Structure 1
Amino acid sequence: MRKKVLIGIGVAVIIALFVGISIFRAASKGNPTVETVKMKEKEITGNVMIPGTLQLMNEQKIYYDAERGKVKKILVNEGDKIKKGTPLVIYENEQLELEKEQAKLSIEQSYIKLDQINEQLEDLKKKEEELKKQVGKEEAEKQIENEKNQLQMDKKMTNLELKQQKIQKETVEKKISELEVKSEVDGIVITVDEDASVAMGENVKPLIHIGSLNKMKVEGVISEYDSLKIKEGQPVVLKSDVVPDAKWKGKVLKIGILPQQGSEMAAETGNEAVQYPVEVLVQDQNIPVKPGFKLIMEIETERKKANVIPLTAVQQDDNQQYVYVVKNGKITRKEIKTGTSTDEYIEVTSGLTKDDEIVREPSDEIKAGVEVTIK
């Protein structure tokens, strides 16, 4: 009997303990605690973020040109540092050499013909002097007139032929000079592919690819809307997923006047928006990424002072933005209008005063009318 009494007392103590703990927890829980901030003036920047591809700023790709003939010799190797004007490739073209020789022979023949005509004119002049003594000046000129006119006409035609032959020779010589392809930029030989001369169709590759690794750009496209905000010279921050914590400086170099090829037609049919090409100059040197890498361009479109609050404070309800404000110890909901945003802050254009106590990071239990304690 005594044992049962002791067990009953133990159960009662345990129950009382649990009830006490529950009461203590309920009492200690009290009102939710929140951290508040006030709207403040801060300099912020507006950004447009677009993807792009890293490219060489100055480069040249030399493709096989069948019209020039066969590749006789490639004069550079991969890794060679070259200057503008350095010979890169020499073609050989037997047909052009034959045309050059033919032009030289034609010119020589014309000079011989001119010499013969001039000799004939000299002989005719002597003949005219003899006739003058025999039949008089007027009769002498009359007798040699037809022959003299014919020789002068032959001389004129031969001079025209000679002029045409010289032009032809210059044209052939110019084509021959173009058999030696030279570099148009300073830089380094990136690739040399001797087999490129036999590639066809979509598999065509350059014989030689040269470029300057010290100067690079990022190419991308922007929308119609962004094209109105982006201007040449605006600062740009460049990032890469391959190097997560790195940032590099750049500036807007060029914005296309005309839409990207194909996008204008697509826009006319309603399939997609018009896009404009944009180029950004990489200002940092020796960046650890290579041409072809995908980069993110954060283009700064504006810089201004504005009234801002933390992004974490702003809530969204359909198309309406709002924040929670503590007033007299209770939560009040205030609808706001916003403007430019950054990674941490957002501009408030209306709806708040600088005295409002705004909940920095409202939790799920924060609702309008809830009593709270401010940290």
Structure 2
Amino acid sequence: MNKKWVVGLVFTGILSYFAFDLWSGWQKKHSAAPLTVTITKAHKEAMYDTLVASGSLVPQKEEKIYLDTAAGVFNSLLVHEGQQVTPGTPLFNYMDKETVQRQIELELTEKKLLLQLDEQKEKMLSMEQDFKKQSMTLTADSTIDQLVETFKQQKKQIERAIETASIGLEENKVQQESLAAKSEQLIIKSTIAGVIQKINYSQTTSPADTKNEPFIHIVSKEPFQIKGSITEFDHVLVKEGQDAIIKAKVIPGKTWRGKVTRVDHIPTSSLTDENTNKDSVTFYPFTVALEQMDDELKYGYHVTVEFQVHSKPEALVIPKEALIVKDAGEYVYIINANRLVLREVQTGLTNEKWVEIRNGLSEQEQVITTPSPDWFEGMEVVSHDTSP
């Protein structure tokens, strides 16, 4: 056979193969069963731009009490860890040896004065009884007058002794009250309501070893607050009263709501640019209060705080998974006459669930919720609406 004929036949076979393959692919695309897809409608939602900062959980109120050796010697502990306290609950007390000794002396003096007072009262009663007996037996006026005069003198002496003892008791009472007030100062009491978080028991025997640590730490039972800092760029966006979402790093998948209660206007620290050796970023403290207490959250936990800024109460949104990003553009699939159509859109704010559509879709227009990279325009589909 002529060599040219052989080459021609081979070339024709190759062309036929490719033509058949293209025809088969076209047939598969246009003769396959329609693809079932889920759709949803673009709708309005409140959207916020989110600013993220970090912080740690601290109690709204706390009290740290330190042992003071100048106040006296530690005497006894009156509470235990985990105990609930209120303002004025006795926590522990000091012992002042001079105060104790003086209290004993005053108590002994009081007993002595009371005995003297009782003795003089008994003496007065006995004298009055003797006077009555003697006056009944006497007849001469001169003798009676002498008896009366003697009685008056003795009565006056006893009354002075009673008055002296009474004054002594009053003085003793004042001194004991003053000493009691001083002793009351040796009893250390809580100033807030809360729970005894920690007691440093070792300080009761060797206070010098841990003098820089609190002896008793009390924290309030109110919902925790978050203390953190934000940069000067974020400082202009965060305001008191703003809502916030809190996430704990050790408790994934759970969130808590809070509100900004304080944004300081005096910076606490700065970052220095290594090249210019000048401050490049300044940080400002903020405080966020949790709306509710949760036992899962613990004092000192590190958390992230999401501040809601740049709010839009009625933004047109679609689910985040409905958005297709390719070739530096953003698209969605819509359905026209049961066929897929790729449409370019412009997006705005986003959150964990929704993405704002600023241009390219209208409200209630349907989009495919979970597009696949294998899909192409013109595919025949059957839709299932999952709109909220």
State whether structure 2 residue 194 is matched by structure 1 residue 187. yes
- Whole-angstrom CA distance in 2 between matches of 1:79 and 1:54: 19
TM-superposed CA distance for 1:214, in Å, is 3.5
Match of 2:370 in 1: 361
Match of 1:263 in 2: 270
Match of 1:43 in 2: 46
How many residue pairs match? The answer is 272
Structure 1: stretches of 5+ with no match in the other structure: 1-18, 98-173
TM-superposed CA distance for 1:304, in Å, is 0.6
AA matched with 1:309: I
- Whole-angstrom CA distance in 2 between matches of 1:225 and 1:90: 51
In 2 relative to 1, CA 175–271 (structure 1 residues): closer, same or farther, beyond 3 Å?
A: farther
The counterpart of 2:225, out of the listed 201, 217, 220, is 217
TM-superposed CA distance for 1:264, in Å, is 5.7
Structure 2 contact 345–358 (Cα < 8 Å) conserved: no
Query: Equivalences for 1:153-192 in 2 at 5 Å?
Result: 181-192=188-199
Match of 1:297 in 2: 305
Query: Equivalences for 1:29-108 in 2 at 5 Å?
Result: 29=32, 35-65=38-68, 68=71, 70-91=73-94
TM-superposed CA distance for 1:305, in Å, is 0.5
Determine what percentage of the aligned residue pairs are the same residue: 26
Structure 1 contact 331–366 (Cα < 8 Å) conserved: no
TM-superposed CA distance for 1:280, in Å, is 1.9
In 2 relative to 1, CA 285–34 (structure 1 residues): closer, same or farther, beyond 3 Å?
A: closer
In 2 relative to 1, CA 344–246 (structure 1 residues): closer, same or farther, beyond 3 Å?
A: closer
In 2 relative to 1, CA 62–303 (structure 1 residues): closer, same or farther, beyond 3 Å?
A: farther
Partner-residue secondary structure (3-state), 2:321: helix
Larger mean CA deviation between 303-312 and 264-273 belongs to 264-273
Deviations 1:322-371 (A, max 9, x none): 445556746445151x222222211122344458654433322245xx32
Match of 1:274 in 2: 282
Partner-residue secondary structure (3-state), 1:195: helix
AA matched with 1:275: F
Match of 2:357 in 1: 348
Structure 2 contact 270–279 (Cα < 8 Å) conserved: no
The counterpart of 2:242, out of the listed 217, 234, 244, is 234
Partner-residue secondary structure (3-state), 1:42: strand
Structure 1 contact 189–211 (Cα < 8 Å) conserved: yes
- Whole-angstrom CA distance in 1 between matches of 2:366 and 2:344: 11
In 2 relative to 1, CA 93–322 (structure 1 residues): closer, same or farther, beyond 3 Å?
A: farther
Partner-residue secondary structure (3-state), 2:221: coil
- Whole-angstrom CA distance in 2 between matches of 1:193 and 1:199: 11
The counterpart of 1:334, out of the listed 344, 351, 361, is 344
RMSD of aligned C-alpha atoms?
4.2
Structure 2 contact 242–307 (Cα < 8 Å) conserved: yes
- Whole-angstrom CA distance in 1 between matches of 2:282 and 2:327: 28
AA matched with 2:369: R
Mark the structure with the bigger radius of gyration.
Answer: 2
Deviations 1:274-315 (A, max 9, x none): 333222222224543322233443444435101112212323
Match of 1:371 in 2: 378
- Whole-angstrom CA distance in 2 between matches of 1:355 and 1:326: 13
Q: TM-score, structure 1 length as denominator? A: 0.57
- Whole-angstrom CA distance in 2 between matches of 1:242 and 1:319: 36
- Whole-angstrom CA distance in 2 between matches of 1:67 and 1:187: 27
Q: TM-score, structure 2 length as denominator? A: 0.55
Partner-residue secondary structure (3-state), 2:191: coil
Query: Equivalences for 1:196-211 in 2 at 5 Å?
Result: 196=203, 197-199=207-209, 204-211=212-219
Partner-residue secondary structure (3-state), 1:274: strand
TM-superposed CA distance for 1:37, in Å, is 4.4
- Whole-angstrom CA distance in 2 between matches of 1:250 and 1:312: 28
Structure 1 contact 38–357 (Cα < 8 Å) conserved: yes
Match of 1:6 in 2: none
Structure 1 contact 239–297 (Cα < 8 Å) conserved: yes
Structure 2: stretches of 5+ with no match in the other structure: 1-20, 100-180, 383-388
